[in-house]
């Protein structure tokens, strides 16, 4: 039996409202709580939070002085459609694309890298 369950993933950022809106739109969730320094997004399976951090510096993936710390892998059915929607919502395409036929690397509005992939089992 598990001792704990995943409650939420929290992402540091400079502007929680922008980051929260982005992730709510991309994941089909809803912004359930907003505050000056914190936004909580509820999805079907979990919570994602955007948390204001003073002097936030975005990751400089793939190389650089600010490590990515973590990234999210999102399962999708259609890479092109999912990438188009992510870009429409405010993501940017990363310059580095190691295997664009299997996954796409994007950056959320705060600069966190995340991947869209058709290679994740259901």
Q: What is the pTM of this model?
A: 0.87
Contact predicate 15/26, CB 8 Å: no
* Cis omega (within 30 of 0) for bond into 62: yes
112 pLDDT exceeds 80?
Answer: yes
* Residue spans in the chain of domains classed CATH 3.10.180.10: 1-55, 57-122
Pick the CATH number of 1-55 from 3.40.50.10540, 3.10.180.10, 3.40.30.10, 2.60.120.1130: 3.10.180.10
pLDDT at 6: 79
50 three-class SS? strand
Contact predicate 84/93, CB 8 Å: no
The second-level CATH assignment, the architecture, of 57-122 is Roll (3.10)
pLDDT at 117: 93
Round to whole Å and give the CA distance between 69 and 53.
15
pLDDT at 12: 96
Round to whole Å and give the CA distance between 77 and 86.
14
Contact predicate 19/39, CB 8 Å: yes
pLDDT tens-digit readout, 79-108: 999 999 999 999 999 999 999 999 999 999
């Amino acid at each position: 039996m598990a001792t704990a369950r995943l409650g939420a993933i929290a992402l540091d950022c400079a502007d929680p409202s922008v980051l929260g809106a982005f992730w709510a739109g991309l994941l089909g969730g809803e912004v359930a709580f907003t505050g000056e320094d914190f936004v909580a997004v509820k999805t079907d399976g979990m919570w994602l939070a955007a948390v204001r951090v003073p002097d936030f510096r975005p990751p400089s993936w793939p190389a650089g002085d600010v490590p990515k710390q973590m990234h999210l892998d999102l399962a999708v059915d259609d890479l092109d459609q999912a990438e188009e929607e992510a870009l429409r919502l405010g993501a940017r395409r990363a310059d580095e694309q190691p295997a664009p036929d299997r996954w796409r690397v994007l950056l959320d509005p705060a600069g966190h890298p995340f991947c869209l992939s058709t290679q994740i089992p259901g």
